Structure 1
Amino acid sequence: MKPPRSDAIFQIGDLLNNTYRIEAILGRGGTSEVYRARSEISGHKVALKALRSEFSGNDDFLFLMNREEAIREVRHDAIVRYFHNQRTDTGVVFLVMDHVDGVGLDRKMAEGGMSAEDLLTVAARVSEGLAAAHARNITHRDLSPDNIILRGGDPADAVIIDFGIAKDSNPGAETIVGNEFAGKYAYAAPEQLSGHADARSDIYALGALLLATFRGRAPDMGANPMEVITRKAQPLDTAGVPEPLKSLIDLATAPDPDDRPQTAEDLRAIALGGVPLNDDHATVIVPRPSGQHAGETVMPAAPVSKAPDPKAHAPKGRKGVLVIAALAVVVLGAAGAWFGGLFPRGLPIADPFTLNVAQAAGASPVAQGFVPSQAVADAVTGQMSKGGGSADLTLARGDIGPDWGTGVVSLIDLVMPLEEYRIALSGNAATVTGLTDDRTLHTTLTAALADAAIAPGLEISPSIELGPRFLPVDRVRALVAGLADCGELTLPGAPATDFGHDTGIAVLGRVAAPETRSALRDALIDIAGSRPVQVETEVLNPTLCTVDAALPDAPPAGFDIAFSQGDTGADNPSGRFLVGENPVIDVTIPAAITDGFLLVSALDVSGNVFHLLPNLSRPDNSIATLRNGQTGPVTLRVAWPLADSVASEGEKIAFQVDDSALGKSRIMVIRMADDIFNGLRPTTESAESFAHALGERSGPVLSLDSRILVTAAP
């Protein structure tokens, strides 16, 4: 299982609703995130827009999400194809849409802009899409460079995305959601400031974004609501824009919606076919000559000369009165709100005052939110640029301390060496999460974040994890195999590909020495990061391990191996014997086993193998002979009390523990179909000799049962 990032809705590799496998994150906003995913059923690549959990229960945002889903009824190549909303079992709502592979106009802006010819092509294409949406009474209301993508980089294949989810619900932010307004100040039509929007509002936004993309920067709408209202009542400055793009933008962005092209089809006709001529508020479309391209200028016929009319630029008739009245209502209403406290004097108030600074693994850093001054904005933007990233910051006032900006800049400097991080600020509270593979950096940074003086004015809640986030299983297997010295070590419960950050690593098997187990644990901890490591290995000894490697892979058959004390006859279920004691060993043949041959051997810690059955004094190891006509379980003594060995003059094997070789010995019961060795093995031989004989055996092994006997000092 792959853990979710602390700052992400979904994690790469997540499978949503048994259908969509997350492949990459494409973008983040204040309320939602966009991911690239692939259907496990069809293999189709899609984009998923996921609403953050704190907004998934908000009726306003769910309404907007459902509104965006409604665009699926529109079928046009210039509009991203939407499918449906879904909800995960954890409550996250996400919208499924086609994935559009291309570059956004916001990227083109950042790169310095686009040519007028290409933008006329974009205007015609986007107008087609808007016309299709408007035909179904769907108004975008939030058109901007970041939600127009050039599929494959082709202006003729522009695609509109993002119908309905705004990026921030704070009244001071660039994008506002509510009953009265939705849209970005820089691109929103003037009437949207007073809560009115229709198809002509989208036409205004298209004209404004074309101007911004041509110049490589957004129109300056001012630093406070009063400046925004004032500037929205004025035409946009299109000086220096070549014709016919200039006239198209001038018409599309007329402050009065009645002075704009009334439909998207009209705007498309202007983009494709002619130059608008303004004569007493009349619009004339002059067709472009056949074969002319979108970037070529068409010279209109000279207008009929007439005397200047002092009233030519005054609003005419009732329409002019209504326009002035409406504008007066907007300005007076905004002024009343301003002085009434809705819009504070100076910068707008942001409540909560939030800022998010994040860098995903392998990506560039991004900062988005509010800052209290241009100096802080410049400092944060510089930090993001240093890492090849970007900043989308809004100047605002809020409930923050005087040292807030200094603390934020210090905090960003501190975490930037991390492979990935996120700083989530709300007021003076800062939640800092991050990940690094560098143990020294992790230790240093964890200690620094615990120091209250590191970021003055901020209350920091840190959680820096030690990575890597995904640890390949093959890497762990290779490490474990390289340290194995007593047969194969296994990784029970290991995932198929990667250990997630919360997936522990467990190792089972046998090792030849305690030092091997310690080395194994240390090596795993070194690569595991914060993952728990559990090394459950049995420590044998080199002798046992040598024979283990040669033993056949045979199942146990249920032979019972019992220990008792030679001097008292008392059972010793622990199998632990002290120096001076006399281990007695009994083997019980299960009732169901009546044929085959037995080999019973003791491998001691000194490297010797003692063959208890068969041997010179007991050469016949046929199970039928050993049963001697008995049915049911039959118990055989294979190691005797010392007194019995003395009485039999050594024909019965007996052991006494001394302090020359203490540790683990192994008692093995091997059942064979035939006598696998050519003749008797010597009563005592080396582990290497016995291992070689096992490797050269002539027949199959049916079963293998064993038990450990431990010798120790008192």
Structure 2
Amino acid sequence: MSSDSTRGIFQIGDVLNNTYKIDKVLGRGGTSEVYRAKSEISGRVVALKALRTEFSRNEDFLALMTREEDMREIRHDAIVRYYDNQRTDDGHVYLVMDYVDGPGLDRKLKDGGMSADDLMIIGKRVAEGLVAAHAKNIVHRDLSPDNIILRNGDPADAVIIDFGIAKDTNPGAETIVGNEFAGKYAYAAPEQLSGQTDARADIYALGAMLLSTFRGKAPNIGNNPMEVVQKKSEPLDTTGVPEPLKSLVDRMTQPDREHRLQTAQAVLEEIIAPQPMVSAAIEPDLEDMDRTIIAPKSVTKQPVVEPVKVVAKSPAPQVQKTEPKKSRGAVIPVLGVLAIAALGGGAYVSGALDGLLGPKYPFEESYTLVASRSESGLAQAVGFVPSQNAQNTLATLIAQEGGTTELTLASGDITPTWEADVLRLVDTVDHLPEWRVLADGDRVRITGLTYDKAEQRNLTTALKQVDMIGAFEAVIQIDLGPRILSAGAVNQILAGHQNCGELDVVDAPLAGYPNASQVIVAGRVADIATRVALSDELTESIGDRDLVLEVDVLNPTLCLVDSVLPNAPQAAVDVEFRVGPDNTVNSSGHFFVGENPVIDVVIPSEITDGYLFVSALDVSGNVFHLLPNLLLKDNSVTTLRGGSDGPVSIRVAHSLADAADGTKLAFVVDDSALGKTKIIVLHSGEQIFDGLRPTTESAGGYANALGERVGIIKSLDSRILTTAQK
């Protein structure tokens, strides 16, 4: 294989290490190339990242590849799955990872960008991945549109790739490639220019990436180093970006990282329950921005709003020009009094003259209303409403829940049914433990949380109906709770299904599982019914989380014997399967009815003395002793070796032809006990049993006899043989 840069490191059709066949070039960079390949063994499609020849023996670049390999410990659907590094015979190093099929955000950016709603979905998905990475103290440091792939083009299935310059933030960990700058200038956080990197750099990069993908062009960072430094010290221009994306990007991309959203979890919470960005004109103390909800400008606070009493005054005062610095909140009562004095308080309040007079309240271009209740029970309504009826209705609702309102009477570019539509939507979701209605002009975003899967489905369907959303363009997201699921809650469920040893959660987050994360359960159960029941209960209880069951179904016999087997180490005794009569290798261990399994036990060179015991435990509850037995009585390692050094293969189950003389053990698969049979190899320093065990006995009898002698067992190796109908 040539390493000529014009030809590429590998060529289409190359098979690497007798396994991966190259079928496509995915990309080429200055130090590495990425290929799509297919495993000739499993058929799995993977991506291979290969270092160019000149870097394959460079310790710094090998460290980069090793760091990416270490990412395999992070299991999350939003992060590409890494496997391991391999080296070809001619010295090329490549990393095996999952192949993610779909466009990158860089392609979406070049095609003109994406909608704000889709980018909110992508932001949530990527933030979930960052929560998983940061929990392992891994900072990406190079988040940019080309490092986010939309699997099958779905924004909700975005995947972070290329952790090649990721940094381990554990104390004492080294920064890959020394102290050099890592990351693309356009998306890098300001502090990265001076070599300072922590999780907040990823938050900045994600915000900058969302902004650039919305606009369809990369951020303007200047034309020379001085301009880059200057630009990075300034907030990104989010003019024209709709809410809630605008406030989200503003909070994520503050130049001073102390004033940024501080964690990926905080980003998730902001997406779930977005809040307006604090402006300097309203609240100069940015340190309070994460805990202060700022209403749109000119807000009149009304903790509990009573119906407004309007008193007519005569004679009417002369209309005065409003000072530019005064808020609309101060202007409203003046205008109201003038109108009443001129046209009569009764007609004005009743609305009888609205058709003649037009809007009674000041016009607001950015007409936004947010009504919500958080999972902690904090309720509030903030923004603009078109009438005192809407103001009073919302104030009463929020007050009943112990919350406050900051509502301003204003007119705007809204539909005639805006008020009725908003109040109907709020009324539909306000029974949820957590809900939020964000109305922005003619668009509405409704989020909520329920603990009932049927309600999630029904409510989501109902809220998408035209008669429910009215004239709004709606985005609906009702999540299934809880927001954070504790590992303890999962373990409680597992305890009720343990009938074959312990069931365990794998890599459970210390702070609990956030929504959209994976819950991985490993272990064994005695039957398929238990596995189904376990899956059903977990699925019903874990909410919007993916369930991965790495749970093997054994059988009561295997579980019984497993319960008394010692916790002994493995000794690398290999169990090999073949198919008689021609001794064809069967690496899968799967046999069908009518086939003749041949079983070899390979004694490693390290085992030179003691005794071997080989048994087969099948689904019928029987134990078959393959060594020693009446046909092969001597199980001492010295005798079995016959004076040979190194690995020695001992056949414990023969082909029918070899066993025809009755001196050897052989068997054929029938349909009486199909399923998993476990081959167990025990090594001990002395005989485990007094005399020979019968060739066949019950699992209970074997377990009792074994349980008394487990203390003398030095090692335990095993392999599963599976039988089935064709």
* TM bin (shorter chain): 0.5 to 0.7
Aligned counterparts, 1:234-383, within 5 A: 346-383=360-397
SS of the residue aligned with 2:532? helix
Q: Does 1:676 align with 2:685?
A: no
In 2, the alpha carbon distance for the partners of 1:495 and 1:616 equals 53
SS of the residue aligned with 1:645? coil
Encode CA deviations 1:299-358: one digit per residue, 9 max, x unaligned: xxxxxxxxxxxxxxxxxxxxxxxxxxxxxxxxxxxxxxxxxxxxx974111121000011
Aligned counterparts, 1:545-560, within 5 A: 545-560=559-574
Q: Tell me if structure 1 keeps the 8 A contact 2:300–2:406.
A: no
In 2, the alpha carbon distance for the partners of 1:485 and 1:679 equals 32
| 1:454–1:195 distance in 2 versus 1, CA, 3 Å | closer
Q: Does 1:704 align with 2:720?
A: no
TM-score by length of 1: 0.56
Q: Does 1:665 align with 2:659?
A: no
Q: Does 1:167 align with 2:322?
A: no
Encode CA deviations 1:441-489: one digit per residue, 9 max, x unaligned: 2122111111011132222110111111111101101211220222122
In 1, the alpha carbon distance for the partners of 2:604 and 2:391 equals 82
User: In the TM superposition, what is the alpha-carbon distance from 1:701 to its structure 2 partner?
Assistant: 2.1
Q: Does 1:713 align with 2:713?
A: no
Match of 2:99 in 1: none
User: In the TM superposition, what is the alpha-carbon distance from 1:439 to its structure 2 partner?
Assistant: 1.8
In 2, the alpha carbon distance for the partners of 1:505 and 1:491 equals 7
Q: For the pair shown, which has the larger CA radius of gyration, 1 or 2?
A: 1
Encode CA deviations 1:214-239: one digit per residue, 9 max, x unaligned: xxxxxx95516767999xxxxxxxxx
Encode CA deviations 1:375-408: one digit per residue, 9 max, x unaligned: 1111222222233322211001111000000000
Match of 1:565 in 2: 579
| 1:553–1:699 distance in 2 versus 1, CA, 3 Å | closer
| 1:90–1:479 distance in 2 versus 1, CA, 3 Å | farther
In 1, the alpha carbon distance for the partners of 2:563 and 2:404 equals 59
| 1:372–1:494 distance in 2 versus 1, CA, 3 Å | same
In 2, the alpha carbon distance for the partners of 1:353 and 1:533 equals 42
| 1:425–1:93 distance in 2 versus 1, CA, 3 Å | farther
| 1:636–1:376 distance in 2 versus 1, CA, 3 Å | same
Amino acid in structure 1 at the alignment position of 2:627 = L
Amino acid in structure 2 at the alignment position of 1:595 = D
Q: Tell me if structure 2 keeps the 8 A contact 1:377–1:393.
A: yes
SS of the residue aligned with 2:709? coil
User: In the TM superposition, what is the alpha-carbon distance from 1:554 to its structure 2 partner?
Assistant: 2.1
In 1, the alpha carbon distance for the partners of 2:258 and 2:383 equals 23
SS of the residue aligned with 1:635? strand
| 1:524–1:345 distance in 2 versus 1, CA, 3 Å | closer
Q: Tell me if structure 1 keeps the 8 A contact 2:579–2:595.
A: yes
In 2, the alpha carbon distance for the partners of 1:521 and 1:499 equals 17
| 1:452–1:698 distance in 2 versus 1, CA, 3 Å | closer
Q: Does 1:686 align with 2:695?
A: no
Q: Tell me if structure 1 keeps the 8 A contact 2:566–2:711.
A: no
User: In the TM superposition, what is the alpha-carbon distance from 1:496 to its structure 2 partner?
Assistant: 1.9
Unaligned regions of 5+ residues in structure 2, if any?
A: 1-73, 79-119, 136-170, 172-202, 212-218, 220-229, 236-249, 261-279, 302-319, 340-357
Q: Tell me if structure 2 keeps the 8 A contact 1:579–1:711.
A: yes
Q: Which of the residues 459, 464, 485 maps onto 1:471?
A: 485
Amino acid in structure 1 at the alignment position of 2:445 = T
Encode CA deviations 1:604-660: one digit per residue, 9 max, x unaligned: 121111111112333321212211111111111111222333313xx4221122222
Match of 1:415 in 2: 429
SS of the residue aligned with 1:574? coil
| 1:93–1:640 distance in 2 versus 1, CA, 3 Å | closer
| 1:574–1:408 distance in 2 versus 1, CA, 3 Å | same
SS of the residue aligned with 1:674? coil
SS of the residue aligned with 1:699? helix
The alignment yields a C-alpha RMSD, in angstroms, of 4.8
In 2, the alpha carbon distance for the partners of 1:142 and 1:633 equals 79
Q: Which of the residues 504, 512, 515 maps onto 1:490?
A: 504
| 1:559–1:509 distance in 2 versus 1, CA, 3 Å | same
Match of 1:518 in 2: 532
Encode CA deviations 1:184-242: one digit per residue, 9 max, x unaligned: xxxxxx9994559xxxxxxxx9xxxxxxxxxxxxxx95516767999xxxxxxxxxxxx
Q: Tell me if structure 2 keeps the 8 A contact 1:142–1:166.
A: no
| 1:679–1:166 distance in 2 versus 1, CA, 3 Å | closer
Q: Tell me if structure 2 keeps the 8 A contact 1:372–1:397.
A: yes
Q: Tell me if structure 1 keeps the 8 A contact 2:367–2:413.
A: yes
Q: Tell me if structure 2 keeps the 8 A contact 1:473–1:499.
A: yes
In 1, the alpha carbon distance for the partners of 2:424 and 2:674 equals 61
Q: Tell me if structure 2 keeps the 8 A contact 1:222–1:228.
A: no
Match of 1:223 in 2: 332
In 1, the alpha carbon distance for the partners of 2:692 and 2:323 equals 102
Match of 1:611 in 2: 625
Match of 2:95 in 1: none
Q: Tell me if structure 1 keeps the 8 A contact 2:366–2:440.
A: yes
| 1:554–1:625 distance in 2 versus 1, CA, 3 Å | same
Amino acid in structure 2 at the alignment position of 1:514 = I
Equivalent pairs counted in the alignment come to 456
Match of 1:502 in 2: 516
Q: Which moved more, 1:617-626 or 1:355-364?
A: 617-626
Match of 1:214 in 2: none
| 1:545–1:529 distance in 2 versus 1, CA, 3 Å | same
Q: Tell me if structure 1 keeps the 8 A contact 2:296–2:368.
A: no
SS of the residue aligned with 2:510? coil
SS of the residue aligned with 1:380? helix
In 1, the alpha carbon distance for the partners of 2:400 and 2:257 equals 35
SS of the residue aligned with 2:711? coil
In 1, the alpha carbon distance for the partners of 2:433 and 2:296 equals 30
Q: Tell me if structure 1 keeps the 8 A contact 2:295–2:382.
A: no
Q: Tell me if structure 1 keeps the 8 A contact 2:519–2:546.
A: yes
SS of the residue aligned with 1:418? coil
Q: Tell me if structure 1 keeps the 8 A contact 2:296–2:383.
A: no
Unaligned regions of 5+ residues in structure 1, if any?
A: 19-40, 42-49, 65-85, 97-139, 148-160, 176-189, 197-204, 206-219, 231-343
Q: Which moved more, 1:513-522 or 1:588-597?
A: 588-597
User: In the TM superposition, what is the alpha-carbon distance from 1:169 to its structure 2 partner?
Assistant: 5.8
Amino acid in structure 1 at the alignment position of 2:708 = E
| 1:614–1:408 distance in 2 versus 1, CA, 3 Å | same
In 1, the alpha carbon distance for the partners of 2:332 and 2:322 equals 18
SS of the residue aligned with 1:647? coil
Q: Tell me if structure 1 keeps the 8 A contact 2:501–2:525.
A: yes
Q: Tell me if structure 2 keeps the 8 A contact 1:407–1:457.
A: yes
In 2, the alpha carbon distance for the partners of 1:667 and 1:655 equals 14
